[in-house]
Amino acid sequence: MHDDLVEVEVLGVRRHPDDEELVVLLLEPVGELVVPISIGPVEAAAIATAQAGIVPPRPMTHDLLRSVLDTLGTRLTRVEITELSGGIFHAALVLGEEERVDARASDALALAVRMECPVLCAVDVLAQAGVEAQVTDGSAGEDGDSEEEVERFREFLDQVDPEDFGDDGASPASDSENR
């Protein structure tokens, strides 16, 4: 593993308590830091559905990219969150031995969740954006809450239409800058 990168866990998608903005949370387990990354609703749905094991009837964009990589016999080795500059997270897809592809953090994370590959975060990014994780006691009620959240999200997905995310197909500004 690279000395300047730390493996993190994709905890999931949440709404930021201050401004209701959608964020994906990355947990650095050793130091118990959490890195919140702002994402758009389409990418939030892509990450949450993959984590919940929901398979859409037709492939979404990240499913398509996974299929292309599989068809070409290319392995996604890992995703790296490499930089935080001007509030924008930069990421890289590492393919095969060491081929690198620049990516938005939100897209890279959605693909990592689908392909079950490791996510690594630069130590500098952890230092800049990491906040102390709130420690939980692991009680049974929390697991129930998580299952309840998944069920509510499944119900939401059953009722949502692609038009609900905007009629021009463009990602929101906060997400389009996440590179």
CATH number of the domain bearing residue 46: 3.10.690.10
- Asked if residue 43 has pLDDT above 90, the reply is yes
Residue 52 backbone dihedrals phi, psi, to 5 degrees: -85, -5
pLDDT mean over 69-81: 96
Domain count, the chain: 1
- The average confidence (pLDDT) of the chain is 82
pLDDT mean over 59-73: 93
Domain that holds residue 134: 5-176
> Which residues are CB-neighbours of 11 under 8 A, at least 6 positions away?
24, 25, 26, 27, 34
> Which residues are CB-neighbours of 155 under 8 A, at least 6 positions away?
none
Higher pLDDT, 156 or 30: 30
pLDDT mean over 96-124: 96
Residues above pLDDT 70, as percent of the chain: 73
pLDDT mean over 124-134: 90
Q: Which residue has the tokens 């001007």?
A: 86
Decide: 14 and 131 in contact? Cβ < 8 Å: no
List the one residue out of 33, 10, 34 whose CA is nearest residue 105: 10
Decide: 174 and 43 in contact? Cβ < 8 Å: no
Radius of gyration of the chain (CA): 16
Q: Quick one: DSSP state of residue 96?
A: T
The pTM (predicted TM-score) of the whole model is 0.74
Q: What is the pLDDT of residue 173?
A: 38
